[in-house]
Chains A and B, each alone.
Chain A
């Protein structure tokens, strides 16, 4: 019955229109309706996104739920939407996280709540659009437009250094994406169309591919973020309000990774092949070096931010080991499939885990107004229920079997064995480093007895309330569910991933 509905359009426009409506409510002095309306819109969006899953045909790699209308005839761009096994889970994740973010800001945000809720709703619509866009211009417009609400969120509701962080975030990502714009324009002149799927069919020479790959790399590497262009992320994460950090970590970072899958790999397979070693090296630096950086953080949000960079290193590693395996064995190895699927699982799982960790820090911050680890200690004594959740998410963050964090990391490590022992070895160190920084933080914040001078703060903490328990337990359920039974997620992506790898390898083969 939902087959006839323009589902993807609804997922984009419902939150945007809802957000605009919430914004107009802000004019009234009576703010009572703002929060329920925002929640209502968010929940409806999430429920609608579930129909994507139920209506999805996982036996084909073709785009589904396709909508195509003329948009700007003069520029030959279309309003062209569709999802495959890679983008569909990300849209559901986005809509899901949005509900939690609206809930998380429920009582906490007292300053201009209408604008806060509206910014998140509008951003959700735009992000859903980024994942669904099949026209490069539509993609680009949404990709950039999304920066505006995030800029406002960091700048208005952020911490003390928010202005610096907001502007850094905006300019960094803008600089990254403008080069992509030039690349898109160049490809339009080559192919006469802005269709992303038409770009996939382009046959370009090595030089053109390399330049385009680098232009994309700047855009996506900033977003992921990859070492060494990650420096905006710790600032943005630390200064953003809890909801902002959650969306940044859970969804915005995934856009960079998604960009690699949708643009870099299929459009410039030769250049990706040529530069795969570089990508693998950068990813390993992120995994190992940034892991150590995380270990030395004193600020909890910063620690999780660096941990995010390290985990995203796994994602890019999983994408690019396929080329190394191909060089070694001359075929699409089993390892390539494992690596890529593992990377995509890691994207989703990291969305839950990092989101959950930021929410946990938010819970503490709302009570004590400090993010410094040394301001805590012995929190488990006063907040036992909360401590249980933190331990679970910290374990998931360090890749404990049985949690979703394990599945992705394990698959990527397994895949990288085929590419080379040392790659797998370095990747696997994350299990140790990750455990070290996650659990050490847990130890310092939660355990031990409460120090004398902290009796006034930590000693008087109240455990999480019903709203917070609900948010954290939903995430806990997701983390455990995909940890124990990742099949529902893997099922939808098998064919798409196989098709992508096949496309890439054919392109390399025909170039020989």
Chain B
């Protein structure tokens, strides 16, 4: 292995986040309780710094580093920037909640930064080993985060479930990777693609490896029938943690799927296309139908996530750059919406009270017309109603599906999304048509107020003019 200065400079963001996470861990250990906010500020500073580094030293074309273990390309820059943005917002949204629930501790921030590092590694991986390392770094941090509320039995159960099933999924993925290694003799993504392109490998064995890999990926995405962990974890974890799990890691998961399927296994796309079709249809159908029966919003949003993952796969399965950029657009939009939705739940929570049942939203329009409006924007956007951003995400994906001849798939998807619209509308209904049952005044910090407002208005504004975000996604995949 030979390092060059370029290698190091393009990896600076990762190095920076890692060092800062260690520094914060040490600094936090010596901080008196009243200065704990410094940890928060340092973490936010880390993210800003990483963003500056990432955007400041973009490669001109995609560059392989560290003996081809690591890639820096347009897609990685865009996805990482959004990861920083989302994690930044997550920390901001969670702050008051963590204080109120006595969870405001150094470990939280270090774990979030470690998870962020894991995501960055996944996004930039060009080697199955790097990919796996990033994934495990992310997953282990998330397991610990779910369990961070030690005396809550619900959270502990969720963490346990998450850990066991997550480890199983990692095992399955790893098994698929090892078969692939056995067949191709390499772990580097482009080398795998080359080996498969020679056509000298037994196709049945390749499909065998593919099945394990797809199952592992579907598990991480939360696609039906590998979705079982998702509702329990979303519901069981403290809302601030659910907010984190439900947003940024989806970007990393998308990157992982992209790297493996489009960079390592493009020649097998006929095989994985069919698998993705099944996963996508099941996810959209089951997610939307089961969500209707939920009374817990976190659980409802978990099922909604499952259906969104189905839509994301619709974009991936066309196996063309246009489809990939549509899926990427969908993922980013989804993360923005999910972040806003959970942020509203955090906003309605206070010390000793978690807003997580549908009834907690009753009459929000009377309590605060502005937040009701923001929540309505987010819910309608998730339902895919124009002129909100979520509509364009669905539109981008559907247009790719139609363009590649899967009209029946598009028809199924839209019909299920109408069914899904019902439970999003139910939230709008509760907020606008009912009288409030909880009349405690909302206490919202200025930074939270601003961030939630910007989040909601961005979904509306980008819904009216989606061109910039779409353009970014199209340009980053070519």
Contact = CB atoms under 8 A, between A and B. Distances in A.
A140 B398 contact: no
Interface in A249-285: none
Contacts of A29: none
B193 to A, nearest CB: 28
Contacts of B387: 141-142, 145
A27 interface: yes
Nearest to A115: B369
A72 B414 contact: no
A145 B422 CA distance: 16
A54 B6 CA distance: 68
A406 to B, nearest CB: 39
Interface stretch (A95-103, A147-155, A315-323, A419-427): A147-155
A429 B470 CA distance: 55
Contacts of A71: 465, 467
A74 B322 CA distance: 11
A204 to B, nearest CB: 14
B432 interface: yes
16 contacts: A74-B467, A75-B396, A112-B365, A137-B395, A145-B386, A155-B432, A163-B433, A166-B433, A167-B422, A167-B426, A167-B429, A174-B418, A178-B415, A178-B418, A186-B402, A189-B402
A188 interface: yes
Contacts of A182: 398, 402, 407, 410-411, 414
B51 interface: no
B411 A179 contact: yes
Q: Which of A137, A140, A181 has the most CB of B within 10 A?
A: A181
A71 B403 CA distance: 21
Interface centre among A71, A74, A75 (most CB of B within 10 A): A74
A112 B367 CA distance: 12
A156 B391 contact: no
Contacts of A115: 365, 369
A140 B386 contact: yes
Contacts of B411: 179, 182
Contacts of A178: 414-415, 417-418
A141 B432 contact: no
Given A74-B467, A145-B387, A185 B398 contact: yes
B474 interface: yes
A27 B369 CA distance: 8
B402 A170 contact: no
A152 B402 CA distance: 33
B385 A148 contact: yes
B433 A74 contact: no
Contacts of B391: 141, 144
Contacts of B470: 72, 74-75
Nearest to B426: A167
A188 B418 contact: no
A511 interface: no
B375 to A, nearest CB: 13
**Chain B residues touching A, range:** 35 or more
Given A182-B411, A185-B399, A186-B407, A156 B433 contact: yes
Interface of A: 26-27, 71-75, 112, 115, 137, 140-142, 144-145, 147-148, 151-152, 155-156, 162-163, 166-167, 170-171, 174-175, 178-179, 181-182, 185-186, 188-189
B471 interface: yes
Instruction: Classify the interface of chain A: helix, strand, loop or mixed.
Output: helix
B310 to A, nearest CB: 16
Contacts of B425: 151, 167, 170-171
Contacts of B410: 182, 185
A145 B385 contact: yes
B421 interface: yes
Given A74-B467, A155-B433, A181-B414, A188 B385 contact: no
A182 B429 CA distance: 28
Given A73-B471, A174-B418, 5 more contacts: A72-B465, A75-B395, A145-B385, A151-B428, A182-B411
B366 to A, nearest CB: 9
Interface of B: 365, 369-370, 380, 385-387, 391-392, 395-396, 398-399, 402-403, 407, 410-411, 414-415, 417-418, 421-422, 425-426, 428-429, 432-433, 465-467, 470-471, 474
A155 B137 CA distance: 48
Contacts, number: 94
Contacts of B432: 152, 155-156
B113 to A, nearest CB: 34
A71 B474 CA distance: 16
B467 A175 contact: no
Nearest to B325: A74
A115 B369 CA distance: 9
Contacts of A148: 380, 385
A144 B421 contact: no
Contacts of B369: 26-27, 115
A189 B407 CA distance: 12
A151 B470 CA distance: 30
Contacts of B471: 73-74
A175 B387 CA distance: 17
Contacts of A163: 429, 433
A152 to B, nearest CB: 6
A181 B391 CA distance: 11
A189 B399 CA distance: 9
A170 B414 CA distance: 15
Contact of B467 (A27, A73, A144, A151): A73
A138 B421 CA distance: 21
B418 A175 contact: yes
A182 B396 CA distance: 12
Contacts of B392: 72
Contacts of B365: 112, 115, 156
A144 B415 CA distance: 15
A144 B385 contact: yes
A157 to B, nearest CB: 10
Which 8 A-B pairs rank lowest in CB-CB distance, beginning with the nearest? A178-B414, A141-B386, A185-B402, A74-B470, A155-B433, A175-B418, A72-B467, A144-B386
A512 B425 CA distance: 48
Contacts of B385: 144-145, 147-148, 174
Contacts of B418: 171, 174-175, 178
Contact of B429 (A74, A144, A166): A166
Contacts of A73: 467, 471
Contacts of B414: 178-179, 181-182
A155 B376 CA distance: 14
B139 to A, nearest CB: 34
A463 B388 CA distance: 46
Nearest to A158: B433
B412 to A, nearest CB: 10
A27, A144, A174, A175 pick with most chain B CB within 10 angstroms: A174
B63 to A, nearest CB: 26
Nearest to A75: B470
Nearest to B400: A185
A128 to B, nearest CB: 15
A75 B400 CA distance: 11
Contacts of B403: 185, 189
